[in-house]
């Protein structure tokens, strides 16, 4: 199928936001063309949620999003809610379940969500072209109205009334991520907020890795926090020791707030008063070694490794009845308030999202249209709105896509 020479709506990027926008605008009766440079559409949908796509969350609140303008996301999220998307999923009879913390996943596979979006696009008459590279985008003049943009692609030139940029963020370049959306924003004078990898594992220094290598592969429920310019942020979830550093949901969440050069504070036993517990154990099991007792609370590997690492502070591993209250307090403080400086993060190679992006102060929160460039819209992850882990990024993609679709 040859690329048409003109359309009412041209969407660049056939990912979550682009497909949602295409289906919704098409259903309004608009002629829609979607182009994507990748060989397949919706690659991130397919790899999301461990292949099961955490497509939304039962509780979506503005506080689940990071943005320089915390109010920007509210309007779109209120007009297309998680319940709207759940209704669509139910209409397509896609089986799903809540895994934890309101996170909704497909029972089968993420392909169900992609197929649903493609069905909706087909029903709405939106045509999708893959392996289509953008070569040049030019704004037209008043004389060319209703056409506003001319887009030169590897499959020919196409004129459109509305141009929607849905090219996503920079994470996982091997899945087709490019910076073209940011370049287009720059071309039309829209500023960008600084971009960094978010929802990303931490790396440790070689010296730190050598110390914690016995813990690799071990996971535990922790609470992790860090200081930000807006105060203290913390998340209580699982962490995982990896060959490169720390991962797991708690670490991915806090990574979106962490600044290089700052410490993380990890409470390895958030549900327990360790000092009180160890004091009781002195009476109940006086001869049992400290590492054995801590190993029953954490894993044996983690307890042994960390007690070896920190043990000099409390004169090594001994039967629990030999510790003074001051020493037990040191043990408790260390396990409840472990301060560690990561070397960095794994970066865009493994990040789930890109923080920052197109400055929301230059977009309409109602329509996603650039305030100073009629007919140019930005939706999804390319915009400076980034969700927490848990289905929030897809909900933003759906909601911002639907918001734009009503006006393109």
Ligand X SMILES: Cc1cc2nc3c(=O)[nH]c(=O)nc-3n(C[C@H](O)[C@H](O)[C@H](O)COP(=O)(O)OP(=O)(O)OC[C@H]3O[C@@H](n4cnc5c(N)ncnc54)[C@H](O)[C@@H]3O)c2cc1C
Among 7, 24, 167, 247, binds ligand X (CB under 6 A): 167
Long-range contacts of 360-366 (CB under 8 A, 24+ apart): 360/67, 360/68, 360/69, 360/72, 360/384, 360/385, 361/68, 361/69, 362/190, 362/191, 363/72, 363/190, 365/71, 365/72, 365/73, 365/74, 365/75, 365/76, 366/75, 366/76, 366/403, 366/407
Beta carbon of residue 273, minimum distance to ligand X (angstroms, whole number) = 35
Q: Which of residues 31-60 bind ligand X (CB under 6 A)?
A: 36-38, 41, 43-44, 47-49, 53-54
Among 26, 176, 201, 342, binds ligand X (CB under 6 A): 176
Among 163, 180, 197, 294, binds ligand X (CB under 6 A): 180
Identify which of 281, 295, 292, 270 has the alpha carbon closest to the alpha carbon of residue 323.
281
**Of 177 and 320, which CB lies nearer to ligand X in the complex structure?**
177
Among 10, 126, 166, 220, binds ligand X (CB under 6 A): 166
- For position 388 contacting ligand X by CB under 6 A, the verdict is no
Q: Which residue has the tokens 């939304």?
A: 56
**Of 128 and 302, which CB lies nearer to ligand X in the complex structure?**
128
Among 7, 64, 82, 171, binds ligand X (CB under 6 A): 171
Beta carbon of residue 157, minimum distance to ligand X (angstroms, whole number) = 15
Beta carbon of residue 70, minimum distance to ligand X (angstroms, whole number) = 18
Identify which of 228, 313, 309 has the alpha carbon closest to the alpha carbon of residue 268.
309
**Inter-residue contact 328 to 174 (CB < 8 Å):** no
Contacts of 272 (CB under 8 A, 6+ apart): 297
**Of 180 and 268, which CB lies nearer to ligand X in the complex structure?**
180
Contact residues for ligand X, defined by CB under 6 A:
12-18, 36-38, 41, 43-44, 47-49, 53-54, 134, 166-168, 171-172, 176-178, 180, 352-353, 380-382, 391-394, 397
């Amino acid at each position: 199928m040859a690329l048409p020479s003109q359309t009412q709506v041209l969407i660049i990027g056939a990912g979550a936001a682009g497909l949602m926008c295409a289906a919704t605008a098409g259903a309004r009766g608009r002629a829609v063309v979607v182009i994507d440079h990748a060989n397949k559409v919706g690659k991130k949908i397919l790899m999301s949620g461990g292949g099961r796509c955490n497509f939304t969350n039962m509780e979506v609140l503005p506080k689940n999003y990071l943005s320089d303008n915390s109010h920007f996301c509210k309007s779109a999220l209120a007009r297309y809610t998680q319940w709207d998307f759940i209704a669509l999923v139910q209409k397509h009879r896609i089986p799903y379940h809540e895994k934890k913390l309101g996170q909704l996943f497909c029972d089968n596979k993420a392909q169900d969500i992609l197929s649903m979006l493609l069905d909706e696009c087909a029903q709405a008459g939106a045509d999708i072209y893959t392996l289509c590279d953008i070569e040049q985008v030019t704004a037209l003049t008043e004389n060319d109205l209703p056409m506003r943009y001319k887009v030169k692609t590897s499959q020919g030139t196409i004129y459109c009334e509305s141009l929607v940029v849905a090219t996503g963020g920079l994470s996982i370049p091997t899945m087709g991520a490019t910076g073209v959306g940011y370049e287009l924003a720059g071309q039309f004078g829209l500023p960008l907020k600084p971009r960094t990898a978010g929802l990303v594992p931490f790396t440790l220094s070689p010296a730190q890795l050598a110390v914690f290598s016995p813990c690799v592969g071990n996971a535990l429920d922790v609470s992790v926090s860090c200081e930000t310019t807006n105060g203290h942020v913390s998340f209580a979830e699982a962490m995982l020791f990896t060959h490169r550093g720390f991962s797991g949901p708690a670490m991915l969440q806090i990574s979106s707030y962490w600044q290089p050069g700052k410490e993380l504070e990890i409470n390895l036993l958030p549900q327990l008063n360790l000092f009180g517990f160890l004091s009781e154990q002195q009476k109940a099991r006086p001869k049992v070694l400290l590492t054995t007792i801590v190993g029953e609370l954490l894993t044996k590997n983690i307890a042994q490794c960390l007690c070896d690492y920190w043990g000099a502070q409390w004169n090594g591993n001994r039967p629990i009845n030999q510790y003074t209250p001051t020493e037990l307090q040191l043990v408790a403080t260390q396990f409840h308030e472990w301060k560690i400086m990561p070397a960095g993060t794994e970066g865009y190679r493994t990040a789930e999202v890109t923080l920052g992006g197109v400055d929301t102060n230059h977009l309409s929160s109602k329509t996603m249209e650039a305030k100073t460039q009629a007919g140019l819209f930005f939706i999804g992850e390319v915009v400076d709105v980034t969700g927490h882990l848990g289905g929030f990024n897809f909900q933003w993609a759906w909601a911002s896509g639907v918001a734009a679709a009503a006006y393109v």
